[in-house]
């Protein structure tokens, strides 16, 4: 058997190439949009792709399954409950995909999403037992996948995780994420074992009711460009450009210099947090476009003036600014420290809902509040 893990540092996702050394048949599980690394290995080793398996309809990255099919003829595989607009091989719990002497056994593990599957890798000539399981966004290293969008269900997630934990201790676990917004407690390691997670994963040590309560608590923000990405993965849209692909440096504006910068440059202030965060308190005059909707609402963001992106502390606004640069915006900055830093500095916070007041008012309000003058500069 040949097995290789690919880690995407842009989105924190993992994909996997599995092949039979005997027949040279290969499969990719959760293929990334950039399929060149898979094609390069196939050319080098003489592999031919038989399957492109998506564990679910992804919401945080665009799948490369259709590109891999176009390039190699690989058959796309998704659970039978997946609602997509393109041809595929619908699989169900207990199905096995033959790959030379190997078997890819499907385990339906709903919860994160209704169609989520895990894939057991079995090499019968070596052992009748599985040696590894690719868990998608069900069981993560130190956490479990979030169930708060796409029809997810916390109780189903608990049952699915419990099912995976019934596997033998030795089974290696390779999740679909090693970091990112899928779970809030991932430790960053790209793999683990069933035995280790059973002993040390804080989520799986909870009883069923506590598990469900924990998943129903505070959840991470929706992923960047989630709306466009999910629609593209379903075949409802053709927004392959919505996948963030660059991590270029972005100028940042420090809180201490922000009022002067706003007064001088009159930027379009863009809050990329969730609506609930915005309602709890935002910089007066800032426009709300949650990062999940950014790609679908670019028409609301002017290109003929500076843009200053804002979030809670500065991480989401930085990624949003990088994506805007990717889309051709040439004068984008991110507010370092975000709304939290702004409030901590004693600058005005607005808790009103609805349309923001004109930017000029916030410019003058913040400028006056901070005691800066027209000639102030920023660094």
Residues labelled as active-site residues: 311
Which of 252, 251, 280 lies closest to 343 in space, CA to CA? 280
Distance (Å, whole) CA 252 – CA 311: 13
**Residue listed under structure tokens 């796309």:** 76
Structure tokens at 236: 């409802």
For the chain, the distance separating the N- and C-terminal CA atoms, rounded to the nearest angstrom, is 56
Residue 310 — φ and ψ, nearest 5°? -140, 140
Residue 299 per-residue DSSP state: G
Q: Is 317 helix (H, G, I), strand (E, B) or coil?
A: helix
> Using DSSP, how many helices (H) and how many strands (E) does the chain show?
11, 19
Contact by Cβ (8 Å): 152, 111: yes
Residue 269 per-residue DSSP state: E
Q: Classify burial at 203, counting beta carbons within 10 Å of its beta carbon; exposed 0-12, middle 13-18, buried 19 or more.
A: buried
The residues that bridge with 270 in the sheet, in sequence order, are 287, 309
Distance (Å, whole) CA 172 – CA 81: 27
Distance (Å, whole) CA 213 – CA 194: 23
Burial of 153-174, coded b for 16+ CB within 10 Å and e otherwise, reads bbebbbebbebbbebeeebbbb
Q: Is 366 helix (H, G, I), strand (E, B) or coil?
A: helix
Which of 105, 208, 204 lies closest to 161 in space, CA to CA? 204
Distance (Å, whole) CA 364 – CA 370: 10
């Amino acid at each position: 058997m040949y097995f290789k893990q690919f880690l995407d540092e842009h989105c924190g996702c993992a994909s996997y190439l599995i092949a039979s050394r005997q027949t040279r048949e290969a499969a990719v599980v959760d293929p990334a949009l950039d399929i060149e690394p898979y094609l390069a290995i196939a050319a080098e080793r003489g592999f031919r792709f038989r399957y492109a398996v998506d564990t679910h309809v992804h919401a945080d990255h665009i799948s490369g399954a259709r590109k891999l099919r176009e390039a190699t003829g690989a058959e796309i595989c998704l659970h039978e409950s997946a609602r997509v607009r393109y041809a595929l091989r619908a699989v169900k719990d207990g199905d096995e995909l033959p790959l030379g002497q190997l078997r890819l056994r499907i385990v339906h593990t709903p919860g994160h999403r209704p169609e989520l599957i895990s894939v057991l890798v079995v090499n019968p000539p070596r052992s009748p037992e599985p040696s590894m399981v690719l868990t998608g966004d069900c069981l993560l290293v130190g956490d479990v996948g979030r169930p708060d969008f796409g029809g997810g269900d916390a109780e189903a997630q608990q049952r699915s995780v419990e099912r995976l934990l019934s596997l033998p201790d030795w089974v290696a676990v390779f999740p679909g994420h090693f970091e990112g917004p899928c779970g809030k407690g991932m430790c960053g390691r790209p793999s683990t074992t069933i035995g280790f997670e059973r002993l040390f994963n804080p989520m799986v040590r909870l009883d069923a009711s506590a598990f469900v309560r924990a998943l129903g608590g505070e959840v991470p923000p929706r992923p960047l460009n989630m709306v466009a990405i999910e629609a593209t993965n379903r075949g409802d849209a053709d927004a392959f450009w919505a996948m963030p692909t660059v991590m270029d440096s972005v100028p940042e504006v420090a809180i201490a210099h922000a009022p002067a910068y706003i007064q001088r440059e009159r930027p379009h202030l863009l809050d990329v947090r969730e609506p609930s965060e915005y309602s709890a308190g935002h910089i007066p005059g800032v426009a709300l476009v949650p990062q999940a909707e950014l790609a679908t609402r670019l028409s609301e963001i002017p290109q003929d003036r500076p843009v200053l992106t804002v979030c809670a502390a500065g991480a989401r606004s930085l990624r949003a600014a990088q994506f805007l640069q990717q889309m051709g915006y040439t004068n984008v900055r991110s507010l370092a420290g975000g709304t939290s830093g702004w409030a901590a500095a004693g600058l005005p916070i607005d808790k009103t809902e609805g349309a923001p007041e004109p930017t000029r008012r916030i410019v003058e309000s913040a400028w006056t509040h901070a005691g800066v003058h027209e000639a102030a500069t920023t660094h």
